[in-house]
Amino acid sequence: MFVAITRFTFILAFAVLLYGVTHSILGNWLAFGISLSILALPLAYFYIQSARLKKYLQADEVENLPPAFGYLEDVFFRLQRAALTTKKRIVDVERQHQRFIEAFQASPNGIVMLDNQDQIEWCNSIAERFFGLSFKRDALQRINYILRNPDFVQYLSLRRFEEPLLIEKMGPGSNMSLLLQIFPFAENHRLLLAQDVTDLRKAEAMRRDFVANVSHEMRTPLTVMMGFLETVQSLDLEPQQEKEYFELMMLQGHRMKSLVEDLLILANLESNALPALTNQIAVFGSVFAYLRGDAEALSQGRHTFHFECNASVGLLGDEQEILSAFGNLISNAIRYTPDGGEITVQWDRNAKGQGVFSVRDTGPGISAEHLPRLTERFYRVDRSRSRDTGGTGLGLAIVKHIASRHQAQLQIESSVGIGSQFSLVFPVERNAEVIPSGQ
């Protein structure tokens, strides 16, 4: 300010001095004219610079500062610096805002921001999917006009947000279970968080069913056994009759033992590390020899077996698990195929180069509607037949588990009255090249 006044005073003094010196030589009017021109010069300078400044501000190109000199050079420079700082701050804030949006979008949970009227201020794409919302269409709509689930409407109106709200079915035709919770923030704003708990709820239901099934499976042989024990205890039985009762009790004991063993196998499969890709399994050697021995012992000459093994196809995985999976498929074929039936066990490579283990039988076959559920724990086509054959209902669940641990596919083909074929198809990554001995 001081500099500006000094400069203006200097120019004014110069003009007056010029008039004083020149008016006696040039005459009054000319001297006055020249002095006035001297005063008009800075005015013109200010007008021109103001016009440039206006253009500069209108163009919104902070970097292209118009040339200036003298007093205004500094003003222009400071103005540009202030504009640059503000611009940078805006860019920073925008970037931060964008990062927040991206973080909210990356969240696996649905997020809806509500204002003090419960109107949608913003929502991420997961929330759009969960609630069938469209932010473009539904922005500033009240959330309870869109989520009309009665439990949610009540939750919103009661304003007791300390507890989350579980909604089993978000809308007609939806099987999604959502856990919703509202968190107040800022002045009367609210954040609605939605978590998809469908899988969690399914897993909980499966666990409940599993415990109920195991209890039921254990209770049946236990009840039978206790009935026999009471009879033996209370009646005076003939030694032969007593022997028969003990044999029947032993059978029930074996059933419980098999069930517990299969449950332990499943528990171990769930807790063990995945089988390494480096363990080579001698399918042609020990595995097939073991399978054949077990099959013949279980069948006791009631079936005809064909064991066909391509000696050059090796497998990478866990030998115990593979033995258990292959053994389960063979034992099923033996247990369900009537006496005199044929069972073919094969290990070979298919056209895609994948190792395939298959068991084909001439048993009763399975009708198509049962096939998708066969690997469920305790699922049986014919419950009493499975029990008669000593089945626990867990065999195929174990096979499926072992298959998935080896990234293999369990394929089932069956025709009622003709027979079934169960195949395990291993990925080529699990192939092991076997060099035939003697080379």
Smallest distance from the beta carbon of 356 to ligand ADP, in angstroms? 17
Residues that bind ligand ADP (CB under 6 A): 332-333, 336, 361, 363-364, 366, 374, 379-382, 386, 391-397, 420
Smallest distance from the beta carbon of 346 to ligand ADP, in angstroms? 15
Q: Toward ligand ADP, which CB reaches closer, 228 or 378?
A: 378
Q: Toward ligand ADP, which CB reaches closer, 240 or 384?
A: 384
Q: Toward ligand ADP, which CB reaches closer, 366 or 410?
A: 366
Cα distances (angstroms) measured from residue 216 to each of 8, 373, 374:
105, 19, 19
Q: Toward ligand ADP, which CB reaches closer, 110 or 364?
A: 364
Q: Toward ligand ADP, which CB reaches closer, 123 or 333?
A: 333
In this structure, what DSSP letter does residue 69 have? -
Smallest distance from the beta carbon of 108 to ligand ADP, in angstroms? 35
Smallest distance from the beta carbon of 307 to ligand ADP, in angstroms? 17
Residue with tokens 């068991």: 359
Closest CA to 401 of 238, 202, 268, 203: 268
Smallest distance from the beta carbon of 333 to ligand ADP, in angstroms? 5
Q: Toward ligand ADP, which CB reaches closer, 233 or 384?
A: 384
Task: Give first-to-last CA distance, the chain, whole Å.
Answer: 102
Q: Is 314 helix (H, G, I), strand (E, B) or coil?
A: strand
d(CA 158, CA 161): 8
In this structure, what DSSP letter does residue 147 have? -
d(CA 347, CA 288): 9
CB 343 within 8 A of CB 301: no
Closest CA to 177 of 203, 191, 195: 195
d(CA 291, CA 302): 16
Smallest distance from the beta carbon of 397 to ligand ADP, in angstroms? 6
Q: Toward ligand ADP, which CB reaches closer, 252 or 420?
A: 420
Burial group, residue 379, by CB count within 10 angstroms (0-12, 13-18, 19+): middle
Q: Toward ligand ADP, which CB reaches closer, 165 or 329?
A: 329
Smallest distance from the beta carbon of 334 to ligand ADP, in angstroms? 9
Residue type, 150: P
Cα distances (angstroms) measured from residue 155 to each of 67, 129, 132, 149, 180:
65, 21, 19, 10, 10
Smallest distance from the beta carbon of 230 to ligand ADP, in angstroms? 28
Here the tokens at position 214 are 């195991």
